[in-house]
């Protein structure tokens, strides 16, 4: 069971990944967004060895609401890269874990148009068929807007289109409900959070640092970024102690 916070409520670590792949040759920016398949496998192995279960956002909701307690860690992957399916899925399945990948619905089967020019690299995103394979394997698809904008800068009409439109796009392609949301760049304020809540999402994740506290606002959940340079002991400290909480 997780140690309780000072307020007495259990904490639930929500991990944030992007690419599960080696860093591409020549990439000089955002290298931290890559975690090698080997490192990812060792991180999942450690959690399993310590008696933790990796869960998708929907599977973790009873723990996040404080309805259940146990050794759980939530695993999220932003943007929906093909390497999530190729490299992360076999590891997750090997340990009986589930995870949520957040898709940009306007870029399904394409590439990271929001930052490809800055990175100098086009990173393949899952197609509809690959999304269904991820879902069929017991994983979860969540929403990450239609075009990956900074939502606090969007006018009301655009904001509603990005949030509600993404949900509709994904549900149409998957044939099942999409109940989880992730704010691009972690960009959220009261107006944005209200639109996400009213759109019917059960929870939403940010990039704010720290472990989630059971019973806290489900539409502003903090996460723990797992970066390329984190060694296994650093990973353990960030996930299983109050290290990230003190830096929130």
| The pTM of the whole model exceeds 0.85 | yes
Strands 19-20 and 212-213: what pairing? unpaired
What sign results for the dihedral spanned by CA atoms 54, 93, 40, 130? negative
The answer for residues whose C-beta is within 8 angstroms of residue 242's C-beta and 6 or more apart is: 3, 211
Cβ–Cβ < 8 Å for 162, 183 = no
Cα dist from 167 to 6, 12, 48, 60, 81, whole Å: 36, 25, 32, 20, 18
pLDDT tens, residue by residue, 56-98: 999 999 999 999 999 999 999 999 999 999 999 999 999 999 9
d(CA 76, CA 56): 7
| pLDDT band, residue 248 (cuts 50/70/90) | confident
Of 175, 181, 179, 186, whose CA–CA distance to 163 is shortest?
A: 181
Of 46, 35, 47, whose CA–CA distance to 81 is shortest?
A: 35
Taking the alpha carbons at both ends of the chain, their separation in whole angstroms is 22
pLDDT tens, residue by residue, 214-240: 999 999 999 999 999 999 999 999 999
- Sequence ranges of the domains in the chain: 11-102+116-142+202-247
Q: Could you tell me which CATH number the domain at 11-102+116-142+202-247 has?
A: 3.20.20.370
Helix (H) / strand (E) containing 138:
none
User: What does the pLDDT read at residue 29?
Assistant: 87
The answer for residues whose C-beta is within 8 angstroms of residue 23's C-beta and 6 or more apart is: 31, 34, 228
DSSP3 helix / strand / coil % (the chain, rounded to 5): 40, 20, 40
The answer for residues whose C-beta is within 8 angstroms of residue 142's C-beta and 6 or more apart is: 57, 76, 100, 101, 102, 103, 178, 179, 180, 181, 182
Cα dist from 194 to 65, 80, 169, whole Å: 19, 24, 20
- For the segment 40-66, the average pLDDT, to the nearest whole number, is 98
Q: For residue 125, what are its two tokens?
A: 């995103």
**Is the pLDDT assigned to residue 7 strictly greater than 70?**
no
């Amino acid at each position: 069971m997780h140690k309780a916070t000072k307020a007495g409520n259990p904490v639930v670590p929500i991990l944030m990944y992007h690419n599960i792949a080696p860093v591409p040759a020549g990439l000089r920016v955002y290298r931290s967004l890559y975690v090698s398949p080997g490192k990812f496998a060792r991180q999942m192995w450690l959690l399993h060895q310590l008696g933790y279960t990796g869960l998708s956002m929907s599977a973790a909701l009873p723990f996040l609401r404080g309805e259940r307690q146990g050794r759980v860690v939530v695993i999220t992957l932003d943007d929906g890269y093909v390497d999530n399916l190729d490299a992360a899925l076999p590891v997750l399945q090997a340990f009986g874990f589930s995870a949520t990948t957040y898709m940009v619905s306007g870029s399904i089967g394409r590439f990271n148009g929001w930052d490809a020019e800055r990175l100098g690299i086009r990173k393949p995103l899952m197609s509809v068929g690959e999304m269904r394979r991820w879902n069929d394997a017991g994983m979860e698809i969540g929403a990450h807007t239609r075009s990956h904008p900074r939502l606090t800068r969007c006018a009301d009409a655009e904001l509603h289109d990005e949030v509600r439109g993404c949900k509709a796009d994904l549900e149409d392609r998957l044939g099942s409900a999409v109940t989880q949301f992730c704010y691009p760049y972690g960009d959220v304020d009261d107006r944005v959070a209200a639109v996400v809540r009213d759109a019917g999402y059960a929870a939403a994740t940010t990039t704010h640092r720290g472990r989630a506290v059971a019973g806290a606002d489900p539409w502003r959940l903090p996460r723990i970024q797992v970066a390329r340079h984190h060694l296994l002991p650093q990973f353990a400290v960030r996930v299983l102690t109050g290290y990230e909480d003190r830096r929130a």
